Amino acid sequence: MNVRLLFPEGFLWGAATAAHQVEGHNFANNWWDWESQPGRIRDGSRSHPGTDQWIRYREDFALLHELGHTAHRLSLEWSRVMPAPGVLDQQALAHYRAVLECLRQYAIEPVVTLHHFTNPRWVEQQGSWRVDQREHFLRFVEEVVRSYRDLVRYWITINEPAVYANLGFVEGIHPPGDRSLRSGLRVLRNLLRAHQDAYALIHALQPEAQVSLAHNLAVLTPATHHPLDRLTAWLHDRLLNHAVLAACAALHPPRLAVGMLRSPRQRRTLDFIGVNYYTRSLVRFAPHRPRSLFAAHTPGTEGPRSLFGWEVYPRGLFTLLCALRRYRLPVLITENGVAEEGDTLRPWFLLAHLRAVHAAIRVGVDVRGYLHWTAFDNFEWAEGLRMRFGLVHVDFATGARTVKPSAWLYARICRRNALEPRDWQEACRQLAAGGASSARGGGEQHV
């Protein structure tokens, strides 16, 4: 990169979090109960106290302001606001008002998620999202939107509905631990209906609101040139990347997904597209894997690997953003990040993905902002505390925060709304010094 890359005026720069992953003190939801079961969390850790942001949010937001962030994605914990059916906790509502007011005081735009993987314990006891929870969820949505519509313009109804359905109800590695494709499809259908109704409710209460869901996108490449692998990758791209978006954008989903996703009321329920992007998978036809829709997914092999084992593949973000032009909607990058033990890969990861975003903008994709995953090291669901995605290191024993080099690099980008050639040079030097690149493609991937 030998030229300065300027982003559009008003571009949102920031990071994303989720309540259960950073707050601590969440003892009334399904994830706290799941963590208490031996063997459910890979490193045996718990979410409390974790990052402890329920207590330390003021100092954390002051730090994000110092780092130049102008937007912050966070979620509201349903089990705090509604600890029992129809019961509202006024102290929790007051706390979240203080949280949102604090963001506004630092001129940071809140992007608020209403469901980010966690359910109140009483919802889980009723059968979770295998049954229609819209009545309860909409009561929660109505209360928080009425309470915070003076503070919040961007609302994310549900985070990664397809991932939630798959990990909890098909693969069984998240609560409630089902392993049934039928359950997963039923859950996804219920979630999308809840999103549609929440979209209408939010706009009735706040007509000027910008409402979407956060949708996980991955590049799906055939593992070989075999026709069955090519067909399987194409079908999975249509189903996993586009069926949900097509249903919510009032377009026709792929035929295999019509019965699962189409609502009786076909209407657009997206004001923008929230994109979560991490990696690429190689897809192979697998006739003995019906629960996986006859496909095996393995990590790509060109780029460096994250601690998760995921391939870092920045050009994929450009490809996927260009594919979203068919929906004719603005885009907000709601998650994009990398897990590593230190901070050698992250600077390069940031620069390479931001170059991909800029390239997409240059060819006409209306990208409005970039929210890095994540602001602070946190509790990474079934992986526990060992997967460090944060721009800021957290000592989970003492709570101490330490700003990583990638956070200072990102801060300079945020403040000037641009990438400079020296940013790329610095990131590549750090990557080389850390030995994080793979044998192929680790240093430079063109978009």
What CATH number has the domain bearing residue 326? 3.20.20.80
Residue 284 lies in a domain: yes
Instruction: Choose among 426, 402, 401, 400: nearest CA to 413.
Output: 426
Q: Which domain holds residue 266?
A: 11-434
pLDDT in tens, 86-95: 999 999 999 9
Across residues 283-305, what is the average pLDDT?
93
| Alpha-carbon span 437 to 441, nearest angstrom | 7
Non-local (6+) Cβ contacts of 376 within 8 A are 17, 22, 51, 53, 60, 390, 391, 392, 394, 401
Q: Is 341 a catalytic residue?
A: no
| Domain count of the fold of the chain | 1
pLDDT in tens, 58-92: 999 999 999 999 999 999 999 999 999 999 999 99
The reported pTM is 0.94
Residue appearing with tokens 């912050």: 72
| Alpha-carbon span 216 to 211, nearest angstrom | 16
In DSSP terms, 335 is beta-bridged to: 276
Residue 265 lies in a domain: yes
pLDDT in tens, 330-356: 999 999 999 999 999 999 999 999 999
Are the beta carbons of 294 and 332 closer than 8 angstroms? Answer: no
Torsional sign, CA 46, 48, 54, 59: negative
For residue 442, what pLDDT band results from cuts at 50, 70 and 90? Answer: very low
Non-local (6+) Cβ contacts of 414 within 8 A are 13, 14, 67, 68, 69, 70
Residue 376 lies in a domain: yes
Strands 210-222 and 273-285, bridge-based pairing:
parallel
| Alpha-carbon span 199 to 193, nearest angstrom | 10
Non-local (6+) Cβ contacts of 226 within 8 A are 285
Whether 444 has a pLDDT exceeding 70, the answer reads no
Catalytic annotation, pick one of 23, 77, 124, 160: 160
Torsion angle of C-alpha atoms 108, 110, 111, 114, degrees rounded to 10: 160
Provide the 8-state DSSP code for 291. G
pLDDT in tens, 189-242: 999 999 999 999 999 999 999 999 999 999 999 999 999 999 999 999 999 999
Residue 440 lies in a domain: no
pLDDT in tens, 357-375: 999 999 999 999 999 999 9
Residue 447 lies in a domain: no
